[in-house]
Amino acid sequence: MGVQGITETDIANFLAASPGFFERHAELLGSIQLTSPHGQRAVSLQERQMEMLRDKIKGLERQIVEMIRNGQDNVAIADKLHRWTRALMLTANAADLPAVLVSELQHQFQIPQAAIRVWGGAEVFATLPFAGVIGDDVKAFASSLATPYCGVNTGFEAVQWLDAPAQALSLALIPLHHESQRSAFGLLVLASPDPTRYTADMGTEFLARIGEVASAALTRLLPAA
């Protein structure tokens, strides 16, 4: 191969395959001049390498800071979930469970509005607010949800359970299921005036866990098998 036929790729491959090249030609390290990415001044190959390493270290430091921040956020969420679950377990009167569940959920996770309905419960709970009139469409919709619904409020009937339905611009609708039944026995509604708080593309794993804990707690309202 002639000199004119040598490409930059050929040179790069040669240097990568010849780790001892710069040891045999150490004088090149100080004589090769490159343009610094932090200005137009010329720097040696060694200085350029140091700048690249510093930039790489800064990038790694940013990643570490982000990992620490995410870890702290996860711990905070776990603590809130723990306090909410503990409040449910300490509720002795089953009739109080829906109100405690909603109020503690709002308090721990700063949710502007929330409401819950339970159907098919024991007769003793039939006159309580959480067992009010519930349309068949709501029941069918809740049973059709394989995962929580997140998105804009498009006029769901369940929004009318909230204190201020007009302020519910985004929603999370979480079905309540008994492990032995396919159909839902309730629906938990979380709402926000922020249209971006609950979006269709957000992950629902955490909301699904909320639904599982809520469902387990509220099975105390169902008739004895």
Are 193 and 125 part of one and the same domain? yes
Q: How far is CA 19 from the centre of its chain?
A: 46
Name the DSSP letter for residue 166.
G
User: So what's the pLDDT on residue 76?
Assistant: 86
Specify if 60 maps to a domain. no
Put residue 202 in one of left, alpha, beta given phi > 0 → left and psi -120 to 50 → alpha.
beta
Number of domains in the chain: 2
b/e per residue 53-76 (b: at least 16 CB within 10 A): eeeeeeeeeeeeeeeeeeeeeeee
Are 115 and 176 part of one and the same domain? yes
Specify if 45 maps to a domain. yes
Reported as a single tens digit per residue, the pLDDT across 152-162 is 999 999 999 99
Nearest to 102 by CA among 183, 184, 44, 187: 187
Residue 2 has pLDDT above 80, yes or no: no
Phi, psi of 193 (to 5 degrees): -75, -10
Reported as a single tens digit per residue, the pLDDT across 162-206 is 999 999 999 999 999 987 778 999 999 999 999 999 999 988 999
Specify if 205 maps to a domain. yes
Supply the range of the domain harboring residue 37.
3-52
Give the CATH number of the domain where residue 107 resides: 3.30.450.40
Task: Give the whole-angstrom CA distance, residue 193 versus residue 96.
Answer: 27
Average pLDDT over residues 124-147: 93
User: So what's the pLDDT on residue 62?
Assistant: 82
Are 107 and 211 part of one and the same domain? yes
The tokens for 78 are 């776990």
Specify if 66 maps to a domain. no
